[in-house]
Amino acid sequence: MIAIISDIHGNYTALCEVLKKVDEMGIEEIYNLGDATGYYSQVNECCDELRKRKVVSVMGNHDFYLATNTNCPRSRSVNECLVYQRSIISQENLNWIKSLPQKVTLDNMVLVHGGWGDNIDEYLLEPKEEYFSRIGGKYFVSGHTHIQMLYKYTEKIYCNPGSVGQPRDGDSRAAFATFDGNDFVLHRVGYDIEEVGRLMESAGFHDYYYGCLFTGAKNLTRKGNNGFPQK
């Protein structure tokens, strides 16, 4: 049995609850589909935990922005968070982010952050069977959309475990998946979102930057302001 996580985005509070559940299930092997960085204030804690546990990880688009010192072409809010994370991330964690591969193959499973046309920044919102018919392998896993999903086709299976740190499917609980060698199971875990907000405010960010966590949506905050555009 393995656990698959994705899109932690500096939300260490959510990551801790997911890892606690994974530990309770007796799972020792964990795979991360990218974007440990971005958005929230505890990027070092998240990277430290993944490195300590030797979690096999791929590079996400936010990881890429940090690793290459570039900006997101779609969102000023993302770039403002990147400025903060660049100012606090340790050199050890930055080096680790830079070392991440874009794709990992595990037996007959292929793991990426985005998709198979663009491993880092392709959004698979409604993946069709024909998309995977051109790709070798049976099991396909990616994140990036922050939407938990599972598609079983004639001969292949696709799973998006959802987002640990910023769900966008209307469920505010942290998301992850498990795989037993044949089938995926989707899981959700509650966590203290208020604590994430307090940490963000301590870092100088108001609720525009974290309010979407309360609804599990990409464009709503608790006070009714606009949240992050989908990135």
pLDDT score recorded for residue 218:
66
The full set of domains in the chain, from first to last, is 2-214 (3.60.21.10)
Within the chain, where are the H helices? 12-24, 43-52, 61-68, 76-88, 91-99, 129-133, 193-202
Q: Which residues pair with 194 in a beta bridge?
A: none
Alpha-carbon gap, residue 207 to 185, rounded angstroms: 33
175: left (phi > 0), else alpha (psi -120 to 50), else beta?
beta
CA dist 130 and 144 (Å) reads 20
Question: What pLDDT is recorded for position 136?
Answer: 87
Please answer whether residues 16 and 42 qualify as being in contact, where contact means their C-beta atoms are separated by less than 8 angstroms. no
pLDDT at 231: 37
pLDDT in 10s for each residue of the chain, 231 residues = 999 999 999 999 999 999 999 999 999 999 999 999 999 999 999 999 999 999 999 999 999 999 999 988 888 888 899 999 999 999 999 999 999 999 999 989 999 999 999 999 999 999 999 999 888 889 999 999 999 999 999 999 999 999 999 999 999 999 999 999 999 999 999 999 999 999 999 999 988 989 999 999 864 333 333 233 333
- Residue whose entry in the numeric block shows the structure tokens 């996580």: 5
Gap between the Cα atoms of 69 and 67, Å rounded:
6
pLDDT for residue 224: 31
C-alpha 46/C-alpha 66 separation (Å) is 15
Report which of 130, 180, 131, 202 is spatially closest to residue 27, judged by C-alpha positions. 180
Q: Alpha-carbon distance 57 to 30, whole Å?
A: 9
Phi, psi of 97 (to 5 degrees): -60, -45
> 178: burial class by Cβ within 10 Å (0-12, 13-18, 19+)?
buried
Buried b (16+ CB within 10 A) or exposed e, 140-175: bbbbbbbbbbebebeebbbbbbbbbbbbbbebbbbb
